[in-house]
Amino acid sequence: MSPTGDFEGLAALVTGGASGIGAAIAATLRDRGARVAVLDRDPTGAPSGTLPVKTDVTSDEGVRTAVEAVVAEFGALHTVVGNAGIGAIGTVEDNSDDEWHRLLDVNVLGLVRTARAALPHLRAAAARRPGAVSITHTCSIAATAGLPQRAAYSASKGAVLSLTLAMAADHVREGIRVNCVNPGTVDTPWVGRLLGQAADPAAERAALEARQPTGRLVSAEEVAAAVAYLASPAAAAVTGTALAVDGGMQGLRLRPA
């Protein structure tokens, strides 16, 4: 089947789909034929042609209501992308308990709430479209890389990786595949905000690029292409996998200069 139409007849939802990586994922799935809903606490940036649903993934009831609204609109749900996430900078001495709770609430429990609300619908869809039903999480190389100044964020993404593997095991016999992507440093508004805090944003950006084996940041579209592969019927035999999209940072075992 052509990659441009391989999501024809499939319904997808993307959390955090109104900016950066999530917006690129939503647009890619749309371009490949899916009907796509964007669940975001601020959905104003949802790509055209997608269904924006204002949802905060820290609210269990809010997520349930949003998922039911999407299924009512689309008639089914085949593809879930849990992507909404926030960052935090610091060592264990820097972040308060409140900051830790907030990070885990969004980055980990946000995925749990989304899956919990979606699974009954995914089970129903899997019976009709074997191989085409999946959950994909946006994790990070922070899950395993040992990045400095990212204690809480790394711990949250480590939990996302473990959650992905456990969910893959729990739902494999139901025909629901569960995978994640591990992006490196991706050129998104998030990274733009971080650079904006630096004394010399241009120099900081050049330093970030120089740390990549490829010499450049990853694009949101490159991450989206990997997510689309994992979610597509072509990946019917792929579950419990973490796919690095990081310009070679982890696979080449390079350390920042």
> Which chain residues interact with ligand NAD by CB under 6 A?
15-16, 18-22, 40-42, 55-58, 83-86, 106, 138, 140, 183, 185-186, 188-191
Beta strands in the chain (DSSP E): 11-15, 35-40, 51-54, 79-82, 134-138, 177-183, 242-245
Task: Please list the alpha-helical segments (H only) found in 129-150.
Answer: 142-145
| Cβ at position 21, least distance to ligand NAD in Å | 4
Residue (of 111, 53, 62) closest to 85 by Cα position: 111
The number of beta carbons lying within 10 Å of the beta carbon of residue 130 is: 11
Taking the C-alpha atoms of residue 234 and residue 86, their distance in angstroms, rounded to an integer, is 31
Contact 207, 252 (CB under 8 A): no
Kindly tell me which of 132 and 181 has the beta carbon lying closer to ligand NAD. Answer: 181
- Among residues 10 and 57, whose Cβ is nearest to ligand NAD? 57
Residue placing its CB nearer to ligand NAD in the complex, 56 or 204: 56
Selecting among 29, 103, 153, 179, the annotated active-site residue is: 153
**Is-catalytic flag, 153?**
yes
Q: Which is nearer to ligand NAD, 62 or 175 (CB)?
A: 62
- Closer CB to ligand NAD, residue 58 or residue 250? 58
Angle, alpha carbons 22-103-198 (nearest 5°):
75
- The residue type found at 17 is G
Residues 93, 242, 221, 121, CA torsion sign: negative
* Nearest Cα residue to 80 out of 11, 19, 161: 11
> For residue 81, which phi and psi values (nearest 5 degrees)?
-120, 110
| Residue 49 backbone class (left: φ over 0; alpha: ψ -120 to 50; beta: rest) | left
What's the min distance (Å) between Cβ of 173 and ligand NAD?
28
The minimum distance between CB 18 and ligand NAD, in angstroms, equals 4
| Residues with catalytic function | 153
